[in-house]
Amino acid sequence: MATQKEGKILIVDDNAGIRKTLEILLPMYFAEVKTIPSPAMLMTTLEQFRPDVVLLDMNFNASINTGNEGLYWTSELKKSAPDVEVVLFTAYADIQLAVEGMKRGAFDFIVKPWENAKLVEVLNAAKDKACKAHSKDIRSKSDVDVDASSENHMFWGTSPAMASIQKSLSKIAPTDATVLITGENGTGKDMLAQEIHAHSLRNGKPMVAVDAGAITETLFESELFGHVKGAFTDAHTDHIGKFEQADGSTLFMDEIGNIPLHLQAKLLRAIQNRSIVRVGGSKTIPVNIRLICATNMDLEALVREGRFREDLYYRINTVHVALPPLRERKEDIVPLAEMFMERYAKKYHRPLVSLSDSAAEVLKNYRWNGNIRELQNCMEKAVILSEGTTLTAKDIKIEHTQTAQVSATNLRVLSDSDEERLVRNAMERTGGNISAAAKMLGVSRPTLYAKLKKYGL
């Protein structure tokens, strides 16, 4: 008795020969197969055909995003139909784009020219996941929730430095003491702040986080203290700022060293008085917050240079926690890598179960200027490109991350002229790609936007 075929596959490819070949091959394995030549028809076909899986080419004749059409349409498709799985169809030269596509939600990718068995295997796996989501009436949410919760978990490791911090946290967290967390980019300052909040008496409410260095000067007071309707041209309604949002909870201010000097006085006043006045208002509003700040800058040096207020520095520095760089906790590199390998193997449906000795040696001997964040990005890429059940040294594309981090080290402790040079260089090397340049410099997109505006780039 023949096995009943299941699954609806939609193929989007501008190559007529490929469409014809797949129209012959895939109906042998799936219930329904439909092909279209252009992503311009994708959203309409999506509603009418309701596929389980979309096999999406990465490049089409009609340029939508300078050759990155696959990335654009992957994002659009996952926003419109998150329960539909996307498999990317790519040439060898597009593999890096396909990796980015998986980060945007694609299930997997197939390289042209393809092997029929491999293609059917991947489409079947994608179909099974989509059908399982349909049967449980969920929209692929469980996988995201599991991954998100694991990323919010602090990895302490076994190094003496981290053991000391963990011991201190048990004493610091239950108090309302203001904490200053310092450390290089990518060391996990935000996660440590979350850990302090999670073990505090305020954990019944979510921690409120703000990237202080990314707020433009014109919006600084509005973002932190809020505004009343009519306070300025676009103030159509009242707006509650971060201080009020954090009332009864913890306010985490990241990149506090980037706040311009003339705005630091306004921040100091709010911290001292534990009260704010909304922009355009006159009412003093008390706020009950626990403050945690973080920076990768040497605030003492900035105080000496007159770039950071001394009174603000002492106000935020009741308890100081310095996170060590990853190169100073080498015993934690491999366990961290294995944790990331397991996480991304699950997320990207890879059968990985172990890390080879050669891969472990490569990881241990690398400097990791970008710290845990760089290691995480490296492992994510390695998992996506891996084959088999063991991650090998060949899978660790260490030279790529090394190049990406050349300009990243201690960006924000440089002089303005050196910082401008590095930002300009990063934008040139990435062809003006904000995301790529921010990753190269080891900063967030909003921070890079602020620096581009600062230097008129």
Residue 396 lies in a domain: yes
Give a three-class secondary structure readout of 134-164. Answer: HHCCCCCHHHHHHHHHHHCCCCCCCCHHHHH
Q: Is residue 152 part of a domain?
A: no
Per-residue pLDDT at 431: 63
Q: Which two tokens stand for residue 159?
A: 């190094």
Q: Are residues 224 and 313 in the same domain?
A: yes
Residue 213 is predicted with a pLDDT of: 74
pLDDT of residue 394: 87
Q: Are residues 207 and 288 in the same domain?
A: yes
CATH number of the domain at 444, please. 1.10.10
End-to-end CA, the chain: 68
What is the domain count for the chain? Answer: 4
The model carries a pTM of 0.63
Write down the pLDDT at residue 170: 87
How many Cβ atoms from other residues are within 10 Å of residue 218's Cβ? Answer: 8
Q: What is the CATH number of the domain that holds 272?
A: 3.40.50.300
Same domain for 290 and 257: yes
**pLDDT values of the chain reduced to their tens digit, one per residue, 457 residues:** 455 788 999 999 988 899 999 999 999 999 899 999 888 888 888 888 889 999 999 877 544 444 477 888 888 888 888 889 999 988 766 677 778 888 888 998 888 889 999 999 999 999 988 877 655 543 333 343 334 334 567 889 889 999 999 999 989 999 999 999 999 989 999 999 999 999 999 999 999 999 887 787 778 888 899 988 887 777 788 888 999 999 999 999 999 998 988 899 999 999 999 999 998 888 999 999 999 999 999 999 999 999 999 999 999 999 999 999 999 999 999 999 999 999 999 888 888 888 999 999 999 989 898 899 999 989 999 998 888 899 988 888 775 434 344 344 445 445 566 677 778 877 766 667 777 677 777 777 777 877 888 777 7
Contact 251, 276 (CB under 8 A): no
Is 317 found in the same domain as 211?
Answer: yes
In DSSP notation, 384-416 reads HH--SSEE-GGG--HHHHHHHTTTTTTGGGS-H
Residues 341 and 307 in one domain: no
Domain boundary among 300, 322, 344: 322
Question: Would residue 341 count as lying in a domain?
Answer: yes
Residues 18 and 116 in one domain: yes
Three-state secondary structure call for residue 238? coil
Angle at 190 between CA 349 and CA 452, to 5 degrees: 95
Residue 79 lies inside a defined structural domain of this protein = yes
Per-residue model confidence (pLDDT) at position 416: 61
Identify whether residues 342 and 310 lie together within a single domain.
Answer: no
442 lies in which domain range?
Answer: 411-455
Based on the fold, state whether residues 189 and 312 are members of the same structural domain: yes
Domain assignment present for 38: yes
How confident is the model at residue 33, as a pLDDT? 94
Give yes or no: residues 129 and 32 share one domain.
yes
